[in-house]
Each structure stands twice: as structure tokens, then as C-alpha cells.
Amino acid sequence: MNEHNHDHRDNAIETTSRVEAFSDGVYAIVATLLVLELRVPILQIVNSHILLLTLRNLLPEIVAFIISFFIITIYWVNHHYFFHGVERADWKLLWYNNHHL
């Protein structure tokens, strides 16, 4: 096989930076979508009791947001460290990465 006749499976991208940047963008969009679901309630009367009651009613949403954000962060950190061990990207890695995302 001469130098110019490569099998498509052997074509590897020299770095993984584009794959990592794409993945970081996907994680950023997911985190943004979480924030967009948080709604600030409109209070007609503001006093300590109503404010505390309203915050208590929002507690399940706030806890769900914190847990979801923490889970996404775990995935992002693991994904980041996974790529420290990868030297080049090939078509298999691209498909693996897309399925992961």
C-alpha cells in the first residue's frame, strides 16, 4: 500500500481538540437548559413569611437543579480526563463520543 492510498479507518485527526470543544459546547447547552427551567416567582406582597413560604415551595426544583447540575459536572469532568489519555481522534472515537453525548 503506498503512502497516498489510505483506508478511511486509518485516517486519524492529529488532535482531539475539536472533539473536546464540541463536547464542551454540548455540556454547556445542557447546563444552560437546566437554568432556563428555573422560574422566579412573582410575589404580590413581600414579607418574610411569604418569601420563606415561596422559597420552601421552590425547594424541590432547586434541589433537582443542584443534583442535575452535579451529575452533568461529573460526566463533563470524566469526559475531560478521558481525553487526556487519547492522542488522536478517529471515526470510532467520533461515534463513541456522539453516542456518549
Which pLDDT tens digits describe the chain residue by residue (101 residues)? Answer: 444 445 555 566 778 888 999 999 999 999 999 888 777 777 777 888 888 888 898 899 889 999 999 999 999 999 999 998 888 888 889 999 999 98
Per-residue confidence (pLDDT) for residue 74, from 0 to 100: 96
> In the Cβ-directed half-sphere of 67, how many Cα atoms lie within 13 Å?
6
- Our CA angle for 65, 66, 69, nearest 5°, is 80
pTM of the predicted model as reported, rounded to 2 decimal places: 0.71
pLDDT of residue 34: 87
Q: Which of 25, 21, 22, 30 is nearest to 71 (CA)?
A: 30
Structurally, how many domains does the chain consist of? 1
67 is a domain residue: yes
Which pLDDT value is given to residue 37?
77
What is the pLDDT at residue 2? 47
Note whether residue 9 is domain-resident: no
- Report if residue 63 sits inside a domain: yes
Is residue 39 situated within a structural domain?
yes
Domain encompassing residue 65:
14-100
**Collapsed DSSP state (helix, strand, coil) of residue 13:** strand
Q: What is the pLDDT of residue 15?
A: 85
